[in-house]
Structure 1
Amino acid sequence: MEKPGVAAPKKLQLSLNKGARFTVKIAWECEADHQDDVDVHALEANNSGNGARVTSLESVLSTYNTKKMNPRGGVLPNNADGSFATPSGGLQHSGDIRVQGNFETITIDGSRLPAGVNEIPLFATVHKADHGNEHESDHDSDEEAAFADIEVCSVTISDDNGKELAAYKLSDEFGDFNVVQLGSIMLAEDGAWVYAPVGRGFTGTINDVLAHFS
Protein backbone atom coordinates (compact mmCIF):
# COMPACT_ATOMS: atom_id res chain seq x y z
CA MET A 1 0.00 0.00 0.00
CA GLU A 2 1.08 3.59 -0.66
CA LYS A 3 -0.06 6.78 1.03
CA PRO A 4 -2.30 8.97 -1.16
CA GLY A 5 -0.40 11.73 -2.92
CA VAL A 6 3.01 10.07 -2.58
CA ALA A 7 4.63 9.43 -5.95
CA ALA A 8 5.69 5.89 -6.55
CA PRO A 9 9.46 5.41 -6.62
CA LYS A 10 10.96 5.16 -10.08
CA LYS A 11 11.56 1.54 -10.99
CA LEU A 12 14.90 0.41 -12.32
CA GLN A 13 14.90 -0.66 -15.94
CA LEU A 14 17.48 -2.18 -18.25
CA SER A 15 17.45 -1.91 -22.00
CA LEU A 16 16.42 -5.27 -23.40
CA ASN A 17 17.75 -4.45 -26.85
CA LYS A 18 20.87 -6.58 -27.22
CA GLY A 19 21.45 -5.47 -30.77
CA ALA A 20 20.25 -6.80 -34.08
CA ARG A 21 21.98 -9.02 -36.60
CA PHE A 22 22.22 -8.15 -40.27
CA THR A 23 23.61 -10.07 -43.24
CA VAL A 24 25.13 -8.54 -46.36
CA LYS A 25 25.47 -10.94 -49.29
CA ILE A 26 27.25 -10.23 -52.56
CA ALA A 27 27.02 -12.65 -55.49
CA TRP A 28 28.34 -12.43 -59.04
CA GLU A 29 28.70 -14.17 -62.37
CA CYS A 30 30.83 -13.04 -65.30
CA GLU A 31 32.11 -14.20 -68.67
CA ALA A 32 34.78 -16.89 -68.67
CA ASP A 33 37.39 -14.53 -70.10
CA HIS A 34 36.95 -12.07 -67.22
CA GLN A 35 38.72 -12.53 -63.90
CA ASP A 36 37.05 -9.73 -62.02
CA ASP A 37 36.75 -10.11 -58.27
CA VAL A 38 34.12 -8.38 -56.15
CA ASP A 39 34.34 -7.76 -52.42
CA VAL A 40 32.13 -6.35 -49.71
CA HIS A 41 33.52 -4.29 -46.83
CA ALA A 42 32.26 -2.84 -43.52
CA LEU A 43 33.59 -0.33 -41.00
CA GLU A 44 33.08 0.00 -37.25
CA ALA A 45 32.60 3.76 -37.09
CA ASN A 46 31.47 6.51 -34.76
CA ASN A 47 29.24 9.32 -35.97
CA SER A 48 28.93 12.22 -33.54
CA GLY A 49 27.06 14.39 -36.03
CA ASN A 50 29.85 15.26 -38.43
CA GLY A 51 29.90 12.04 -40.41
CA ALA A 52 31.11 8.53 -39.63
CA ARG A 53 34.75 8.21 -38.61
CA VAL A 54 37.08 5.23 -38.17
CA THR A 55 40.24 5.60 -36.10
CA SER A 56 42.02 2.23 -36.37
CA LEU A 57 42.65 -0.47 -38.95
CA GLU A 58 41.26 -3.05 -36.49
CA SER A 59 37.84 -1.52 -37.20
CA VAL A 60 38.08 -2.13 -40.96
CA LEU A 61 36.51 -5.41 -42.09
CA SER A 62 37.99 -5.93 -45.54
CA THR A 63 39.86 -8.59 -47.46
CA TYR A 64 42.48 -5.92 -48.08
CA ASN A 65 43.01 -5.77 -44.31
CA THR A 66 43.70 -9.46 -43.66
CA LYS A 67 47.14 -10.90 -42.95
CA LYS A 68 46.59 -13.61 -45.58
CA MET A 69 45.77 -11.29 -48.46
CA ASN A 70 47.91 -8.38 -47.34
CA PRO A 71 50.82 -9.73 -45.27
CA ARG A 72 52.64 -6.39 -45.46
CA GLY A 73 49.86 -4.30 -43.97
CA GLY A 74 46.76 -6.30 -43.01
CA VAL A 75 45.96 -6.58 -39.31
CA LEU A 76 43.03 -9.03 -39.18
CA PRO A 77 43.96 -12.72 -38.84
CA ASN A 78 42.19 -15.35 -40.95
CA ASN A 79 40.59 -18.43 -39.50
CA ALA A 80 41.37 -21.85 -40.94
CA ASP A 81 38.38 -21.61 -43.30
CA GLY A 82 39.47 -18.16 -44.56
CA SER A 83 36.87 -16.22 -42.59
CA PHE A 84 37.87 -13.24 -40.49
CA ALA A 85 36.39 -10.71 -38.07
CA THR A 86 37.07 -7.49 -36.23
CA PRO A 87 38.45 -7.98 -32.68
CA SER A 88 35.03 -7.27 -31.17
CA GLY A 89 33.39 -9.99 -33.26
CA GLY A 90 30.74 -7.46 -34.21
CA LEU A 91 31.69 -7.71 -37.89
CA GLN A 92 32.38 -11.11 -39.44
CA HIS A 93 33.31 -11.95 -43.04
CA SER A 94 32.80 -15.38 -44.59
CA GLY A 95 36.14 -15.11 -46.42
CA ASP A 96 37.41 -13.99 -49.81
CA ILE A 97 36.07 -16.02 -52.75
CA ARG A 98 37.63 -15.47 -56.17
CA VAL A 99 35.40 -17.85 -58.09
CA GLN A 100 32.60 -16.36 -60.17
CA GLY A 101 29.18 -17.82 -59.56
CA ASN A 102 29.78 -17.79 -55.81
CA PHE A 103 29.10 -15.33 -53.00
CA GLU A 104 30.55 -13.70 -49.90
CA THR A 105 28.74 -12.54 -46.77
CA ILE A 106 29.27 -10.12 -43.92
CA THR A 107 27.40 -10.54 -40.64
CA ILE A 108 26.84 -7.54 -38.35
CA ASP A 109 26.02 -8.35 -34.72
CA GLY A 110 24.95 -5.20 -32.89
CA SER A 111 25.28 -6.87 -29.49
CA ARG A 112 29.03 -7.36 -29.96
CA LEU A 113 30.02 -3.98 -31.40
CA PRO A 114 32.38 -1.88 -29.24
CA ALA A 115 31.06 0.97 -27.13
CA GLY A 116 30.95 4.17 -29.15
CA VAL A 117 30.36 2.45 -32.48
CA ASN A 118 27.04 3.69 -33.80
CA GLU A 119 27.38 3.36 -37.58
CA ILE A 120 28.53 0.58 -39.90
CA PRO A 121 29.16 1.91 -43.43
CA LEU A 122 28.93 -0.82 -46.09
CA PHE A 123 30.77 -0.87 -49.43
CA ALA A 124 31.28 -3.08 -52.45
CA THR A 125 34.30 -2.98 -54.78
CA VAL A 126 35.42 -4.71 -57.96
CA HIS A 127 38.94 -5.21 -59.31
CA LYS A 128 40.83 -7.29 -61.84
CA ALA A 129 41.69 -10.38 -59.83
CA ASP A 130 45.07 -12.01 -60.05
CA HIS A 131 44.08 -15.58 -59.30
CA GLY A 132 47.68 -16.68 -59.46
CA ASN A 133 48.71 -14.60 -56.46
CA GLU A 134 46.64 -15.01 -53.32
CA HIS A 135 48.93 -12.60 -51.49
CA GLU A 136 48.30 -9.73 -53.86
CA SER A 137 48.07 -6.75 -51.53
CA ASP A 138 48.22 -3.61 -53.60
CA HIS A 139 45.57 -4.42 -56.22
CA ASP A 140 47.17 -1.89 -58.56
CA SER A 141 44.60 -2.67 -61.24
CA ASP A 142 41.53 -1.65 -59.17
CA GLU A 143 40.69 1.30 -61.40
CA GLU A 144 40.80 -0.85 -64.55
CA ALA A 145 37.63 -2.72 -63.58
CA ALA A 146 34.01 -1.63 -63.32
CA PHE A 147 30.81 -3.36 -62.26
CA ALA A 148 29.63 -3.28 -65.88
CA ASP A 149 32.37 -5.82 -66.65
CA ILE A 150 30.43 -8.38 -64.62
CA GLU A 151 27.41 -9.98 -66.21
CA VAL A 152 25.48 -10.21 -62.93
CA CYS A 153 26.51 -8.69 -59.60
CA SER A 154 23.98 -8.24 -56.81
CA VAL A 155 23.98 -7.32 -53.15
CA THR A 156 21.21 -8.02 -50.65
CA ILE A 157 20.97 -6.78 -47.07
CA SER A 158 18.65 -8.59 -44.67
CA ASP A 159 17.84 -8.57 -40.97
CA ASP A 160 17.98 -11.45 -38.49
CA ASN A 161 14.44 -12.47 -39.44
CA GLY A 162 15.46 -12.88 -43.08
CA LYS A 163 13.56 -9.77 -44.17
CA GLU A 164 15.24 -8.14 -47.16
CA LEU A 165 15.98 -4.50 -46.37
CA ALA A 166 17.72 -3.55 -49.61
CA ALA A 167 18.83 -5.07 -52.90
CA TYR A 168 21.24 -3.66 -55.48
CA LYS A 169 22.05 -4.77 -59.03
CA LEU A 170 25.57 -3.38 -59.14
CA SER A 171 26.27 -4.47 -62.72
CA ASP A 172 23.21 -2.48 -63.92
CA GLU A 173 22.72 0.39 -61.47
CA PHE A 174 26.40 1.22 -60.93
CA GLY A 175 28.03 -0.19 -64.06
CA ASP A 176 30.35 2.79 -64.62
CA PHE A 177 31.90 2.58 -61.15
CA ASN A 178 34.19 0.24 -59.24
CA VAL A 179 33.16 1.29 -55.72
CA VAL A 180 29.61 1.54 -54.34
CA GLN A 181 28.62 2.88 -50.96
CA LEU A 182 25.61 0.68 -50.25
CA GLY A 183 24.42 2.31 -47.03
CA SER A 184 24.94 2.09 -43.28
CA ILE A 185 23.67 0.07 -40.35
CA MET A 186 22.98 2.81 -37.78
CA LEU A 187 22.11 2.94 -34.10
CA ALA A 188 18.90 4.92 -33.78
CA GLU A 189 17.99 7.16 -30.84
CA ASP A 190 15.67 4.48 -29.45
CA GLY A 191 18.57 2.03 -29.24
CA ALA A 192 17.55 -0.06 -32.26
CA TRP A 193 19.88 -0.84 -35.15
CA VAL A 194 18.41 0.15 -38.53
CA TYR A 195 19.56 0.16 -42.14
CA ALA A 196 19.90 3.52 -43.92
CA PRO A 197 20.38 3.16 -47.71
CA VAL A 198 22.78 5.40 -49.65
CA GLY A 199 23.44 3.84 -53.08
CA ARG A 200 26.31 6.02 -54.30
CA GLY A 201 28.86 4.90 -56.89
CA PHE A 202 32.30 6.34 -57.56
CA THR A 203 35.68 5.42 -59.00
CA GLY A 204 38.58 4.87 -56.65
CA THR A 205 40.15 2.34 -54.29
CA ILE A 206 39.51 1.10 -50.78
CA ASN A 207 42.07 3.67 -49.60
CA ASP A 208 39.87 6.44 -51.03
CA VAL A 209 37.04 5.05 -48.93
CA LEU A 210 39.19 5.01 -45.80
CA ALA A 211 40.42 8.54 -46.47
CA HIS A 212 36.81 9.73 -46.47
CA PHE A 213 36.04 8.05 -43.14
CA SER A 214 39.26 8.79 -41.26
Structure 2
Amino acid sequence: MTRFPAIALSLLGSGLLLGCSAAEAQHAVSLPLPKHDVSATATPQTAVFAGGCFWTQQAVFENVKGVLLTTAGYDGGTAGTATYDQVSSETTRHAESLRITFDPRRVTYGQLLRVFFSIAHDPTELNRQGPDTGASYRSAIFPQSPVQAAVARAYIAQLDAAHAFPKPIVTHLETGTFYPAEAYHQHFYDRNPDYPYVVMWDKPKVAAFKAAFPALAR
Protein backbone atom coordinates (compact mmCIF):
# COMPACT_ATOMS: atom_id res chain seq x y z
CA MET A 1 0.00 0.00 0.00
CA THR A 2 1.11 3.55 -0.61
CA ARG A 3 2.36 5.09 2.63
CA PHE A 4 1.49 8.72 3.18
CA PRO A 5 4.30 11.26 3.24
CA ALA A 6 4.42 13.70 6.12
CA ILE A 7 2.65 16.44 4.18
CA ALA A 8 -0.31 14.16 3.43
CA LEU A 9 -0.61 13.19 7.08
CA SER A 10 -0.55 16.86 8.00
CA LEU A 11 -3.30 17.66 5.51
CA LEU A 12 -5.34 14.74 6.77
CA GLY A 13 -5.10 16.11 10.28
CA SER A 14 -6.41 19.45 9.05
CA GLY A 15 -9.31 17.78 7.22
CA LEU A 16 -8.36 19.26 3.84
CA LEU A 17 -7.26 16.03 2.18
CA LEU A 18 -10.10 13.97 3.62
CA GLY A 19 -12.75 16.07 1.93
CA CYS A 20 -11.09 15.65 -1.45
CA SER A 21 -10.70 11.88 -1.15
CA ALA A 22 -14.29 11.43 0.01
CA ALA A 23 -15.58 13.32 -2.99
CA GLU A 24 -13.57 11.13 -5.34
CA ALA A 25 -14.02 7.75 -3.70
CA GLN A 26 -17.51 7.63 -2.27
CA HIS A 27 -19.62 7.60 -5.43
CA ALA A 28 -21.20 4.28 -6.41
CA VAL A 29 -21.89 3.93 -10.13
CA SER A 30 -25.45 2.83 -10.87
CA LEU A 31 -25.17 -0.46 -12.75
CA PRO A 32 -27.63 -3.14 -13.86
CA LEU A 33 -27.38 -6.68 -12.61
CA PRO A 34 -25.69 -9.17 -14.95
CA LYS A 35 -28.03 -10.73 -17.47
CA HIS A 36 -26.50 -14.10 -16.63
CA ASP A 37 -25.46 -15.52 -13.28
CA VAL A 38 -23.99 -18.59 -11.63
CA SER A 39 -26.59 -21.02 -10.35
CA ALA A 40 -27.02 -21.21 -6.59
CA THR A 41 -25.77 -24.28 -4.77
CA ALA A 42 -26.30 -25.62 -1.27
CA THR A 43 -22.58 -25.32 -0.58
CA PRO A 44 -20.52 -22.11 -0.40
CA GLN A 45 -18.86 -20.73 -3.51
CA THR A 46 -15.65 -18.74 -3.91
CA ALA A 47 -14.84 -15.61 -5.89
CA VAL A 48 -11.46 -13.89 -6.32
CA PHE A 49 -11.27 -10.24 -7.35
CA ALA A 50 -8.38 -7.79 -7.68
CA GLY A 51 -8.88 -4.05 -7.80
CA GLY A 52 -6.39 -1.93 -5.94
CA CYS A 53 -5.52 -2.19 -2.28
CA PHE A 54 -6.83 -5.40 -0.74
CA TRP A 55 -7.61 -3.51 2.47
CA THR A 56 -10.28 -1.61 0.53
CA GLN A 57 -11.66 -4.67 -1.23
CA GLN A 58 -11.97 -6.51 2.06
CA ALA A 59 -13.55 -3.52 3.81
CA VAL A 60 -16.33 -3.43 1.21
CA PHE A 61 -17.01 -7.12 0.69
CA GLU A 62 -16.99 -8.14 4.33
CA ASN A 63 -20.04 -5.87 4.67
CA VAL A 64 -22.04 -7.78 2.04
CA LYS A 65 -24.82 -10.03 3.31
CA GLY A 66 -24.15 -13.64 2.44
CA VAL A 67 -20.38 -13.25 2.45
CA LEU A 68 -19.06 -15.84 4.89
CA LEU A 69 -15.32 -15.18 4.80
CA THR A 70 -12.88 -12.81 3.12
CA THR A 71 -9.13 -13.27 2.82
CA ALA A 72 -6.67 -10.70 1.51
CA GLY A 73 -3.92 -12.15 -0.63
CA TYR A 74 -2.01 -12.33 -3.87
CA ASP A 75 -2.93 -13.93 -7.19
CA GLY A 76 -1.32 -14.11 -10.60
CA GLY A 77 2.22 -15.07 -9.60
CA THR A 78 4.07 -17.93 -7.95
CA ALA A 79 4.12 -19.18 -4.36
CA GLY A 80 7.73 -18.15 -3.90
CA THR A 81 7.00 -14.47 -4.54
CA ALA A 82 3.68 -14.17 -2.69
CA THR A 83 4.89 -11.80 0.00
CA TYR A 84 4.07 -8.13 0.47
CA ASP A 85 7.65 -6.94 0.07
CA GLN A 86 8.13 -8.86 -3.16
CA VAL A 87 4.73 -8.00 -4.63
CA SER A 88 5.36 -4.32 -3.87
CA SER A 89 8.46 -4.46 -6.08
CA GLU A 90 6.10 -4.84 -9.07
CA THR A 91 8.18 -7.70 -10.49
CA THR A 92 6.15 -10.75 -9.41
CA ARG A 93 3.02 -10.53 -11.66
CA HIS A 94 0.89 -10.85 -8.54
CA ALA A 95 -2.14 -8.63 -7.98
CA GLU A 96 -3.36 -7.71 -4.53
CA SER A 97 -6.54 -9.78 -4.42
CA LEU A 98 -9.45 -10.77 -2.24
CA ARG A 99 -10.82 -14.29 -1.91
CA ILE A 100 -14.52 -14.23 -1.02
CA THR A 101 -16.36 -17.25 0.31
CA PHE A 102 -20.10 -16.69 0.02
CA ASP A 103 -23.48 -18.37 0.37
CA PRO A 104 -24.96 -18.27 -3.16
CA ARG A 105 -28.44 -18.67 -1.73
CA ARG A 106 -28.08 -15.26 -0.08
CA VAL A 107 -25.86 -13.38 -2.52
CA THR A 108 -25.02 -14.42 -6.06
CA TYR A 109 -21.79 -14.22 -7.99
CA GLY A 110 -23.48 -11.70 -10.26
CA GLN A 111 -24.39 -9.48 -7.34
CA LEU A 112 -20.80 -9.58 -6.15
CA LEU A 113 -19.64 -8.59 -9.63
CA ARG A 114 -22.03 -5.64 -9.54
CA VAL A 115 -20.55 -4.42 -6.24
CA PHE A 116 -17.03 -4.99 -7.57
CA PHE A 117 -17.62 -2.79 -10.63
CA SER A 118 -19.89 -0.24 -8.97
CA ILE A 119 -18.03 0.78 -5.82
CA ALA A 120 -15.27 -1.62 -4.72
CA HIS A 121 -12.93 -0.10 -7.31
CA ASP A 122 -12.79 1.86 -10.57
CA PRO A 123 -12.61 -0.66 -13.43
CA THR A 124 -11.45 1.99 -15.90
CA GLU A 125 -8.16 2.73 -14.14
CA LEU A 126 -5.22 0.84 -15.62
CA ASN A 127 -2.68 -0.51 -13.14
CA ARG A 128 -3.71 1.84 -10.37
CA GLN A 129 -6.44 2.68 -7.87
CA GLY A 130 -6.59 5.98 -6.01
CA PRO A 131 -3.13 6.72 -4.59
CA ASP A 132 -1.73 3.25 -5.43
CA THR A 133 0.06 2.66 -8.72
CA GLY A 134 1.56 -0.39 -10.35
CA ALA A 135 0.43 -3.66 -11.91
CA SER A 136 -0.14 -5.20 -8.49
CA TYR A 137 -3.12 -2.84 -8.18
CA ARG A 138 -4.64 -3.80 -11.53
CA SER A 139 -8.30 -4.59 -12.10
CA ALA A 140 -8.68 -8.34 -12.58
CA ILE A 141 -11.05 -11.21 -12.00
CA PHE A 142 -9.75 -14.69 -11.29
CA PRO A 143 -12.70 -16.97 -12.14
CA GLN A 144 -12.93 -20.10 -10.04
CA SER A 145 -14.89 -22.04 -12.67
CA PRO A 146 -15.70 -21.86 -16.40
CA VAL A 147 -19.20 -20.66 -15.49
CA GLN A 148 -17.81 -17.78 -13.45
CA ALA A 149 -15.55 -16.87 -16.36
CA ALA A 150 -18.49 -16.82 -18.78
CA VAL A 151 -20.63 -14.71 -16.44
CA ALA A 152 -17.83 -12.21 -15.79
CA ARG A 153 -16.91 -11.92 -19.46
CA ALA A 154 -20.55 -11.40 -20.43
CA TYR A 155 -21.02 -8.75 -17.74
CA ILE A 156 -18.03 -6.75 -18.91
CA ALA A 157 -19.43 -6.87 -22.45
CA GLN A 158 -22.86 -5.84 -21.12
CA LEU A 159 -21.44 -2.84 -19.27
CA ASP A 160 -19.28 -1.77 -22.20
CA ALA A 161 -22.22 -2.02 -24.60
CA ALA A 162 -24.32 0.13 -22.25
CA HIS A 163 -21.49 2.70 -21.89
CA ALA A 164 -21.85 2.35 -18.13
CA PHE A 165 -18.54 4.18 -17.62
CA PRO A 166 -17.14 7.22 -19.42
CA LYS A 167 -14.00 5.24 -20.26
CA PRO A 168 -13.49 1.62 -21.37
CA ILE A 169 -13.34 -1.11 -18.75
CA VAL A 170 -9.79 -2.42 -18.40
CA THR A 171 -10.60 -5.40 -16.16
CA HIS A 172 -8.96 -8.62 -17.35
CA LEU A 173 -9.95 -12.21 -16.62
CA GLU A 174 -6.88 -14.10 -15.43
CA THR A 175 -5.89 -17.50 -14.15
CA GLY A 176 -3.76 -18.08 -11.11
CA THR A 177 -3.43 -19.48 -7.64
CA PHE A 178 -4.49 -17.45 -4.62
CA TYR A 179 -2.04 -17.10 -1.75
CA PRO A 180 -3.18 -15.52 1.54
CA ALA A 181 -1.38 -12.35 2.58
CA GLU A 182 0.41 -11.83 5.86
CA ALA A 183 -1.66 -11.81 9.03
CA TYR A 184 -1.21 -8.10 9.61
CA HIS A 185 -3.01 -7.35 6.33
CA GLN A 186 -6.12 -9.37 7.20
CA HIS A 187 -9.15 -7.25 8.18
CA PHE A 188 -6.93 -4.20 8.38
CA TYR A 189 -9.95 -1.92 8.08
CA ASP A 190 -11.56 -3.37 11.20
CA ARG A 191 -8.41 -3.44 13.28
CA ASN A 192 -7.11 0.02 12.28
CA PRO A 193 -10.14 2.31 11.89
CA ASP A 194 -8.10 5.48 12.44
CA TYR A 195 -5.23 4.62 10.09
CA PRO A 196 -4.91 7.48 7.56
CA TYR A 197 -5.31 5.27 4.48
CA VAL A 198 -8.43 3.68 5.98
CA VAL A 199 -9.95 7.05 6.86
CA MET A 200 -9.24 8.59 3.46
CA TRP A 201 -10.02 5.75 1.08
CA ASP A 202 -11.77 2.82 2.75
CA LYS A 203 -14.38 4.43 4.98
CA PRO A 204 -15.88 6.51 2.14
CA LYS A 205 -16.20 3.40 -0.02
CA VAL A 206 -17.88 1.38 2.73
CA ALA A 207 -20.30 4.25 3.36
CA ALA A 208 -21.02 4.54 -0.36
CA PHE A 209 -21.62 0.80 -0.64
CA LYS A 210 -24.11 0.83 2.23
CA ALA A 211 -25.92 3.83 0.76
CA ALA A 212 -26.13 2.37 -2.76
CA PHE A 213 -26.86 -1.24 -1.79
CA PRO A 214 -28.97 -1.15 1.40
CA ALA A 215 -30.56 -4.54 0.66
CA LEU A 216 -27.11 -6.14 0.38
CA ALA A 217 -25.43 -4.40 3.29
CA ARG A 218 -25.09 -6.05 6.67
**TM-score, normalised by the number of residues in structure 2:** 0.29
- Considering Cα pairs closer than 8 Å and 6+ residues apart, tell me whether 1 or 2 has the greater RCO: 2
Bigger share in helix: 2
Give the structure with higher Rg (CA).
1
